[in-house]
Amino acid sequence: MLFKVFAAFLRAGFLGFGGGAAIAPAIHKEAVDRYGWVDDGTFNDVLALSNTLPGPAAPQMSAVIGYRAAGIGGMLAAVSALVVPMAVLVVVLISWIFSAVGESADKMLLLKRSTVAVFPLVSAMLCRLMLKFYRQGSEAIGPVRTVLFSLVCLALLYLGVDNGFVILAMISLAITSAAPWPRWFCYIMVVPVATLLFVHSDLVSTLSMTVPDYLEWSVVLGLLVAGAVGLWTTPAENGLPDSTGEAGLRPVLGDLGRIWAVVLAVCVPLVMFCPLLRSSAYLALLAGMTFTGLMTFGGGPVFIPLAIGLLAGPSSQIFLYTKERLMQYIAIVNALPSPIISKLSAVSGWDMVRRVADSGTAYSGPLWLWASAGGAILVVAMVLPAVTNSLVAFSCLDRIKRSPGMKAMTKFILPVLMAIFLSVFISFMETTFHTVASFPGQSAISSGLQCVWLFCLFLWLQTRLRRIPDPLLILAAVAYGVIVL
């Protein structure tokens, strides 16, 4: 079973460009369609929950599903398969690209050619999952409301509201409508929800307004408290279950406690033993990246500007890169699958240890070994708190799974997920168009035709020839980009 979990999330990781919502179709195909570890309803809950909790969404999804499939070993296998291979590859690739600056332009062009055709492949997977969610939403709340809510959520996303806040707003309204509260209170709840969406949108900057931080987070905290109270006060149809389902809270806390104990037992002596890792510069990076990860809801798109503020330029908290170099790193990281956060954490940890070594700090042993340890510790620091959040939250969620409030949340969350997938779909197709247009000999018309052709081809292959394995489709996309484009 552990091998199946590892292989499944390894395949999903190679299709997870950008992480988060972008990787959801690949995880859905493995966890729901192929192996049946979770059903559609549970998968939707996991996806929604991972986008509302701090930390990268993709490791959170893999942790919950892996745990439900094969316990703590399944969780470790799923997260490792999703994160580790690409984290190692991106460190090697960036070192190779920037080892000879004169060749970096050619290497970047080769990287773009080899990955650009994969974006239409992931877009086709997103399209299929959107259609599936549309059918489920139509059965639950009707086709008109499904489309209407999806368009409203899509408009909110394009107004700059983060995925997590849109999901939190929809969850709050759904739970409030199902709770045994007076109707006037349900109408009043629209005010804090609208306030939440407004203060976290681009309209604030457009109108040159300043919103105090305490107002932003007090509204978020208020909605979280109201949602929790609404769920607990809503009686279950057949009574609340006595246990927390397959993954009860007590065994989850026990398993997480053992993982944290092992991680601390390994990492603390390692940091204390190596002068490079216990340097003030590396410890500041470790603390800064961990805090940044906890402030990230959903993953990559939110993490990137926070990482720039942390790492790039003289005005940043930790001056590790120039803004130009960090943007080059981000371009490479975005061109490769798996979560952005884990890849950028691995690279920054590797580079910081090497910088400390270049500053004259004495150490023993090979530098590549300590640099690898520095990158690995940073990846663990970014992923483990998020995994802990997701497993604890979903275990608590299982306690009230039969509550009408939870059923209302599950139904109304589908349009939000459709809107998120649609925004990612549009972004991927735009990325494909602009990347192909930047290649020599490509015009705007030919780039548009290439985008449409690749999308239709992969959609047809996945619809009509479902037995084609995903690795073969990935290899075909890479070969097409290198040979044809």
Render pLDDT for 320-371 as a digit per residue (tens, 0 to 9): 887 767 767 776 777 777 888 888 899 999 999 999 998 888 888 899 999 9
Question: Between vectors from CA 218 to CA 183 and to CA 195, what angle results, nearest 5°?
Answer: 55
pLDDT score at 408: 63
Q: What is the DSSP string of 115-179?
A: HHTHHHHHHHHHHHHHHHHHHHHHHHH-HHHHHHHHHHHHHHHHTT--HHHHHHHHHHHHHHHHS
For the chain, 485 residues long, the average pLDDT of each consecutive 10-residue run is 90 74 83 89 82 81 90 92 90 77 61 80 82 82 88 88 79 77 84 87 85 80 80 57 50 89 92 91 88 69 70 70 73 76 90 90 88 93 89 72 59 79 83 87 89 90 73 80 82
Q: Which long-range contacts (CB under 8 A, 24 or more apart) does 143-152 make?
A: 145/415, 146/414, 146/415, 146/418, 147/415, 148/415, 149/412, 149/415, 149/416, 150/415, 150/416, 150/418, 150/419, 150/422, 151/419, 152/419
Rounded to two decimals, the pTM is 0.72
